[in-house]
Structure 1
């Protein structure tokens, strides 16, 4: 991952298993993770030349040539951290593993990560701070909102719309033309054959709503 021939340097917010996969994706493009910041650290240390410390250290180390990725799997927490940091959108990197197959007509937002083995076909739009996880398939003309997480091996067939903050579980399949609302969870292995409203959880084959959130 190079910008104008310059090695891209990345700060990851979060240091867990998810951040390990993102770090591998950064490295696959020739990028460099310089820090992993997480509030589980009370003081700063260096591990294999990577700074590890509390999130507030970002104020000291974020320079013009450094970009940021929120390396947290939870959609809610990822959004909370984006709001907490209040950085310009352009300070966030787009991390795309080199093994992906992505159409030239795809649009990918800032802070979004695309993991190994992903296939994204023509005229797909993926929002900011989304996660497109390992070996999932997103077919033509899908629209993926901000803070969405599409889990490993999930398949979104053509013209699927997924609203902000929703989570598509591992191995789930969504048939063409379906709309999934915002902040909705689709269970692992589910088959979605009808629209699903916002703020719900749907599971099964075919997927049925089993829970509605009350705000």
Structure 2
């Protein structure tokens, strides 16, 4: 039975906890800096993130259970623990090809389909009922929202967020730290550090503008 510490205690953490339980694992702690001292609730330890130093013993692993891509990255940099201390969580009701590569700290939610030779980076979220088709590459700290569809050979750059129900046609590249709006249809490459929305999607915002 894998023992997991969640960093972050929010609605997103609840879903990740369900994913862990579906694997037969157990959440032993939920740490969040909105807590100022250690306490116990429903047999789960809660308290500030600094408690990880005492709780991360042999046989215990971490998951950053925070939806914001940039905050997940900040927390990983702050904790500075070895990569093998991060769990990879795959819900039992997802379908993931044996040829898929998945990085540490990544969470795959229920109903997800990830097909042959896709590659998913570290600390990435593949959310409920989304589809990642063959040969897609999703880099670290990205978030694929519920029911989004990435058709074959799509690349999503580091830290980018594909909104709920968005569709990306084959061969498209999404830059780093870019946001794709919910329900958008992506039929051409999208630059880094922008927000694109619509059917077909158009860039409506660039970083700093």
Q: TM-score, normalised by structure 1?
A: 0.96
2:37 alignment counterpart: 43
2:90 alignment counterpart: 96
Q: Give the drift of 1:214.
A: 3.0
2:173 alignment counterpart: 179
Match of 1:111 among 86, 96, 105: 105
C-alpha distance in structure 2 between counterparts of 1:27 and 1:189, whole Å:
31
C-alpha distance in structure 2 between counterparts of 1:95 and 1:40, whole Å:
25
1:86-165 matched pairs, under 5 angstroms: 86-165=80-159
C-alpha distance in structure 1 between counterparts of 2:58 and 2:89, whole Å:
18
C-alpha distance in structure 2 between counterparts of 1:61 and 1:200, whole Å:
39
2:65 alignment counterpart: 71
C-alpha distance in structure 2 between counterparts of 1:121 and 1:60, whole Å:
39
1:61 alignment counterpart: 55
Over the aligned positions, Cα root-mean-square deviation in angstroms equals 0.8
Structure 1 gaps of 5+ residues are 1-6
C-alpha distance in structure 2 between counterparts of 1:114 and 1:142, whole Å:
15
Which of structure 1's runs of 4+ aligned residues deviate more than 4 A? none
C-alpha distance in structure 1 between counterparts of 2:206 and 2:58, whole Å:
43
1:22 alignment counterpart: 16
Equivalent residues, number: 209
Q: TM-score, normalised by structure 2?
A: 0.99
Q: Give the drift of 1:107.
A: 0.4
1:32 alignment counterpart: 26
Q: Give the drift of 1:44.
A: 1.3
Structure 2 gaps of 5+ residues are none
1:147 is paired with a residue whose SS is coil
1:197 is paired with a residue whose SS is coil
